[in-house]
Amino acid sequence: MSRLRLGYQRFTSCCGCQLTLLNCEADLAAFDAAAEVVVFPMASSRPDDGGRLDVVLVEGSVSRPEELSALLQLRRRSEVLAAVGACALTGGVNSLAGTDRAALCEGVYGETAAEKTTFPPQSLSRFVRVDIELAGCPPERGELLRTVGALARGGLPALAEYPVCMECRCRENLCLLLEKGQPCLGAVTRAGCAALCPSFGVPCEGCRGEVAEANRAEQYRLLLEVGLPEGEVAARMKRFTGEEP
């Protein structure tokens, strides 16, 4: 197994995805054997040597001009770019504030709002090619580690391409949506979290983003059927996709 030259960079985000990796204490020695950390400002004070990277993990959405130019640079110097977490994949919770940027900046910064050059938070794939998507808010530790391990072995990670409902059924949970009348989004959400929330009786919020070929129309109808008001259904369904249902 060759040792990867790896970067982990963040843009507009809460750092939760980076912490997910740092919280893998028991596996950090194996991680170190698989990857040499070249760029990871949150965890390492080692100066970036500016050389080629085998892989760069990127947390966060893009909402500032300097983030955009850093992203373009990272893309140019990296063989593989992995978007890590909901912010990087869809804009995430950062994009929930809406699109009226001027009003938002004014509300937060008052008179100095005009000096701000930020723009609405956007996914990495709006600007660059993304090779691997690690979904979640934050992503699963196992998925992060398996991805680095797979890349170090010259392969790609096997990521779930089915909905959370599959995992929920494997765990023999009662269906929160159909059997308990709760507003669960598992049917349209990408699996990989082992149905974490429904297994504790909490409806899925869709933090892993949308599964391919999601039946949005039926999900919308079912959420109305369990008694959610129309506005709430729409808000819930766009929370982690950034798109109207």
- Interface residues toward ligand SF4, by CB under 6 A: 13-14, 16-17, 59-60, 85-87, 92-93, 137-138, 164, 189, 193, 195-198, 204-208
Residue 114 beta carbon to ligand SF4: minimum distance, rounded to whole angstroms: 28
The Cα 176–Cα 151 span in angstroms is: 37
DSSP classification of residue 122: B
Cβ-based nearer residue to ligand SF4, 20 or 78:
20
User: What is the Cβ-side half-sphere exposure of residue 41, based on CA atoms within 13 angstroms?
Assistant: 6
**Beta-bridge partner residues of 56:** 7, 81
Q: At closest approach, how far in Å is the CB of 233 from ligand SF4?
A: 16
> Which C-beta is closer to ligand SF4: that of 149 or that of 198?
198
For residue 88, count CB atoms less than 10 angstroms from its CB and return exposed for 0-12, middle for 13-18, buried for 19 or more.
buried
**Nearest-approach distance from CB 216 to ligand SF4, in angstroms:** 16
- Best CA proximity match to 12, nearest among 56, 61, 47: 61
Helix (H, G, I), strand (E, B) or coil at 59: strand
Q: Between 63 and 189, whose beta carbon lies closer to ligand SF4?
A: 189
The three-state secondary structure class of 54 is strand
Q: Which is nearer to ligand SF4, 58 or 152 (CB)?
A: 58
Strand segments (E) across the chain: 4-10, 35-39, 53-59, 78-84, 132-134
- Choice between 7 and 16, CB closer to ligand SF4: 16
By beta-carbon proximity to ligand SF4, the closer residue of 86 and 237 is: 86
Q: How far is the CB of 168 from ligand SF4 (least distance, A)?
A: 8
- Cβ 205 to ligand SF4 shortest distance, Å: 4
Return d(Cα 245, Cα 241) in angstroms, integer: 9
Tell me the closest approach of the beta carbon of residue 171 to ligand SF4, in angstroms. Answer: 11
Q: What is the number of the residue whose Cβ is closest to ligand SF4? A: 16
* CA nearest neighbour of 141 among 81, 69, 192, 76: 192
